[in-house]
């Protein structure tokens, strides 16, 4: 056996691997678990996108190496999409980079722009892969607490001056995983102001950009004046188009950041399978009804689930976007104890808030990734615990 490198051993523990193990153990004992702990969309990719893949897979051009830095048609489609959806003008060659999923881009970005010891501002609670990116680049994370009283937006006034002045990158994510919060233009305006005054590169993770509720379309960071000078947005196909298995996303915005990502990728990959890129272009340019239906489906599930929990006496709030609900645990329990209780006694798996950072303590995250019936059933099972 060979020992792992110091770098590999220094990476943060993958908290959610243990959750999967726990669920598998209970299932192996013969129990029916309603698994709301993970973030894997449960519905298939819209058929017109799959059909495009099939056709594209037959095309011999796609059997060769794809063009370095991705297909021009897909980058043009991404630019057209941003113009149509958000009124944002992007240069397809200089301001868009194709990624092997949002995760890869988010993990690579600190290595592209920061040096060991540099400071990166990270939301807490937040998507744990940001920590992996920081560890691989050996940069120092400063956490920005997301508090309920501030609608789960970070407060820039609370960032100590010496930290803000030294920070080189800031990660934001709205609609937010895990809290389900959304950001409005005013918040992004403050972000541009704060970051541009300190030359901080903003990385806005727009993974749930297609999933907004109550008639409100989530704001793109790039819609703000000055945003392109300040950073990039990561747009993934995984959630909006139920394409999590396809591993494709893109970064859009600041040309120097896009060049850095492309350069990093030149050293690691050629590009994605051309047929996947063709199908992704179809997702962006083709009919958008399916994407609207996906968002509406999560909104219905949210309404059903939140009202079922309120009916059993759990005081919970409705998320405004993403497909997660962020629920306060009853007093007397840690988030881990409470999740274990729900799994062991109600056979409902949820993700403990502490897995998303220190400020996630006191909450659990529920993924609205099963049918309305199963969500109602989950609420009934929780009711039987007679906690509320």
Contacts of 121 (CB under 8 A, 6+ apart): 141, 142, 143, 144, 154, 159, 163, 164, 167, 169, 170, 171, 200
Please, what is the minimum distance in Å from the beta carbon of residue 200 to ligand PLP? 19
In the complex with ligand PLP, the residue whose CB is nearer, 164 or 231, is 231
Contact letters for ligand PLP, residues 39-78 (x by CB under 6 A): x---------------------------------------
* Phi and psi at residue 348, to the nearest 5°: -120, 120
Please, what is the minimum distance in Å from the beta carbon of residue 375 to ligand PLP? 19
Please, what is the minimum distance in Å from the beta carbon of residue 62 to ligand PLP? 21
Answer whether 82's CB lies under 8 Å from 222's CB.
yes
- Tell me: does residue 177 bind ligand PLP (CB under 6 A): yes
Question: What is the β-pairing status of strands 324-328 and 363-367?
Answer: antiparallel
DSSP 3-state of 322:
coil
Contact letters for ligand PLP, residues 221-250 (x by CB under 6 A): ---------------x-x-----x----x-
Please, what is the minimum distance in Å from the beta carbon of residue 383 to ligand PLP? 29
In the complex with ligand PLP, the residue whose CB is nearer, 177 or 308, is 177
Q: Which two tokens stand for residue 182?
A: 């959304």
The Cα 24–Cα 21 span in angstroms is: 5
Residue 92: beta bridge partners?
none
What residues numbered 119-138 form the site for ligand PLP, per CB under 6 A?
127
- What is the 3-class SS of 242-262, one letter each residue? CCHHHCCEEEEECHHHHHHHH
Closest CA to 118 of 128, 109, 106: 109
Select from 98-106, 143-151, 254-262, 297-305 the region that touches ligand PLP (CB under 6 A): 98-106
Binder among 35, 45, 173, 240 for ligand PLP (CB under 6 A): 173
In the complex with ligand PLP, the residue whose CB is nearer, 238 or 254, is 238
Please, what is the minimum distance in Å from the beta carbon of residue 6 to ligand PLP? 26
Please, what is the minimum distance in Å from the beta carbon of residue 324 to ligand PLP? 8
In the complex with ligand PLP, the residue whose CB is nearer, 134 or 207, is 207
Select from 100-108, 161-169, 266-274, 311-319 the region that touches ligand PLP (CB under 6 A): 100-108
Select from 97-105, 150-158, 266-274, 312-320 the region that touches ligand PLP (CB under 6 A): 97-105
Answer whether 109's CB lies under 8 Å from 169's CB.
yes
Query: HSE-up of 124 (CA within 13 Å, CB side)?
Result: 15
The Cα 126–Cα 86 span in angstroms is: 25
- Contacts with ligand PLP by CB under 6 A: the residue count is 13
The Cα 388–Cα 309 span in angstroms is: 10
In the complex with ligand PLP, the residue whose CB is nearer, 166 or 370, is 370
What residues numbered 7-46 form the site for ligand PLP, per CB under 6 A?
39
Closest CA to 177 of 321, 46, 36: 321
Q: Could you identify the residue written with the tokens 């973030």?
A: 39
The burial of 16, by beta-carbon neighbours within 10 Å (0-12 exposed, 13-18 middle, 19 or more buried), is given as: middle
Residue 212: beta bridge partners?
321
- What is the 3-class SS of 93-153, one letter each residue? CCCEEEECCHHHHHHHHHHHHCCCCCEEEEEECCCCHHHHHHHHHCCEEEEEECCHHHCCC
- Tell me: does residue 90 bind ligand PLP (CB under 6 A): no
DSSP 3-state of 286:
coil
Contact letters for ligand PLP, residues 202-221 (x by CB under 6 A): ---x-x--------------
Binder among 102, 133, 353, 355 for ligand PLP (CB under 6 A): 102
- Tell me: does residue 103 bind ligand PLP (CB under 6 A): yes
Please, what is the minimum distance in Å from the beta carbon of residue 246 to ligand PLP? 9
- Tell me: does residue 304 bind ligand PLP (CB under 6 A): no
Please, what is the minimum distance in Å from the beta carbon of residue 235 to ligand PLP? 9
Q: Could you identify the residue written with the tokens 């996630």?
A: 360
Please, what is the minimum distance in Å from the beta carbon of residue 199 to ligand PLP? 24
In the complex with ligand PLP, the residue whose CB is nearer, 62 or 173, is 173
- Binding site residues, ligand PLP, CB under 6 A: 39, 101-103, 127, 173, 177, 205, 207, 236, 238, 244, 249
């Amino acid at each position: 056996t060979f020992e792992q490198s110091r770098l590999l051993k220094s990476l943060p523990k993958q908290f959610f691997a243990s959750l999967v193990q726990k669920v598998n153990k209970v299932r192996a004992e013969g129990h029916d678990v309603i698994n709301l702990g993970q973030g894997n969309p449960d519905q298939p990719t819209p058929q017109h996108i799959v059909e495009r893949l099939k056709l594209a897979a037959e095309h011999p051009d796609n059997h060769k190496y794809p063009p370095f830095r991705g297909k021009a048609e897909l980058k043009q489609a991404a630019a057209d999409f941003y113009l149509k959806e958000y009124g944002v003008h992007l240069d397809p060659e200089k301001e868009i980079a194709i990624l092997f999923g949002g995760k890869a881009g988010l993990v690579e970005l600190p290595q592209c722009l920061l040096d060991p010891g540099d400071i990166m501002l990270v939301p807490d609670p937040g998507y744990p892969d940001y920590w992996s990116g920081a560890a691989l680049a050996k940069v120092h994370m400063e956490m920005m607490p997301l508090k309920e009283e501030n609608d789960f937006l970070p407060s820039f006034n609370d960032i100590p001056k010496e930290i803000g002045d030294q920070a080189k990158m800031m990660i934001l994510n709205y609609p937010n995983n895990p809290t389900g919060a959304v950001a409005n233009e005013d918040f992004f305006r403050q972000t541009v102001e704060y970051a541009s005054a300190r030359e901080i590169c903003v990385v806005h993770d727009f993974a749930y950009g297609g999933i907004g509720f109550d008639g409100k379309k989530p704001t793109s960071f790039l819609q703000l004046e000055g945003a392109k000078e300040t950073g990039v947005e990561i747009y993934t196909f995984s959630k909006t188009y139920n394409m999590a298995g396809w591993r494709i996303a893109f970064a859009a915005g600041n040309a120097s950041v896009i060049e850095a990502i492309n350069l990093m990728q030149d050293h690691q990959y050629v590009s994605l399978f051309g047929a996947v890129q063709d199908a992704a272009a179809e997702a962006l340019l083709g009919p958008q009804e399916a994407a609207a239906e996906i968002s509406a489906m999560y909104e219905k599930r949210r309404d059903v689930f939140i009202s079922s929990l309120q009916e059993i006496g759990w005081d919970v709030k409705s998320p405004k976007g993403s497909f997660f609900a962020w629920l306060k645990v009853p007093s007397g329990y840690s988030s881990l104890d409470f999740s274990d209780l729900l799994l062991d006694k109600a056979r409902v798996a949820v993700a403990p808030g502490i897995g998303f950072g220190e400020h996630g303590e006191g909450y659990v995250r529920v993924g609205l990734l099963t049918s309305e019936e199963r969500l109602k059933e989950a609420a009934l099972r929780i009711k039987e615990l007679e906690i509320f």
